[in-house]
Amino acid sequence: MTTKIFRKTFYLLIICVLTCNYSCLKKQIPPGGRLVIEHPFSDYLLNNNSVKISLHQNDLPVEIGYSFTSSHPGLVFEMGIRLPDSGRVYTVSLWDGQTQALLIQKNVQINNPQGFSYVDLNTTNEFVPISANHTYVVSVFMIPFSADDASDAAGDNFYDVRRNDQANVFPITGHAITYQREYTKTSFTPAFPDNLSLEQDIVNGFCDVGFSYATQ
């Protein structure tokens, strides 16, 4: 009972902080409404027992990203990644999927290779408004080695995920966000990933967003 009360209080505190800081979103909350918070990719991996995660060594400079849409307008208040090399810093980008315009770009350090590491956009007032039914892309840039570290010759590692039944991983749907497909781009700097991956039964990466929206 104590644990349930603590969790409820914790989530209420999060909602209060978000509603106080997200003045533009707060105005959208109708009487009796609530604020929904989700991390779709993280939630999928955490709550899905039918997937297998394996290590993948990267040997090319590559941008890996995922297109997504939302069924509700809201805010991206975090961007995160799950990669196996603890302590490394990666560039994570949020793009307009239709115009390919860069909406925000942040560096994220891997704090826990067993979970997602996020950068908070709320504290710096950099949260990004998201329109319903519009395509966006969140991506991470990885390089095969660093010139000042010969031990990196094997490349930045990343994870692969497959379903145990070999069915397609995509689409991944949370409360409002749906991740649709994986995109890549071979590049020596962060760039919009515009090459559609032909494989849907395996996903590389991983990238995620923290998303909040108002509902009744």
CATH of the domain at 195: 2.60.120.820
From first to last of its 216 residues, the chain has per-residue pLDDT tens of: 434 433 333 333 334 444 444 455 555 565 566 889 999 999 999 888 888 998 887 778 899 999 999 999 999 999 999 999 888 899 999 999 999 999 999 999 999 888 999 999 988 999 999 999 999 999 999 886 554 454 544 567 889 999 988 889 999 999 999 999 999 999 989 999 999 998 888 888 889 999 999 987
Q: pLDDT by residue (tens digit) across 99-139?
A: 999 999 999 999 988 899 999 998 899 999 999 999 999 99
* Domain count for the chain: 1
Assigned domain for 10 exists: no
Residue 96 tokens, joined: 């307009």
What pLDDT score was predicted for residue 49?
Answer: 81
Assigned domain for 176 exists: yes
Assigned domain for 208 exists: yes
What pLDDT score was predicted for residue 147?
Answer: 44
Assigned domain for 11 exists: no
Assigned domain for 203 exists: yes
Assigned domain for 28 exists: no
In angstroms, the CA 23 to CA 46 distance is 31
Assigned domain for 150 exists: yes
What pLDDT score was predicted for residue 23?
Answer: 55
What pLDDT score was predicted for residue 32?
Answer: 62
Q: Which domain holds residue 210?
A: 38-215
What pLDDT score was predicted for residue 155?
Answer: 60
Buried b (16+ CB within 10 A) or exposed e, 14-35: ebeebbeebeebeebbeeeeeb
Assigned domain for 8 exists: no
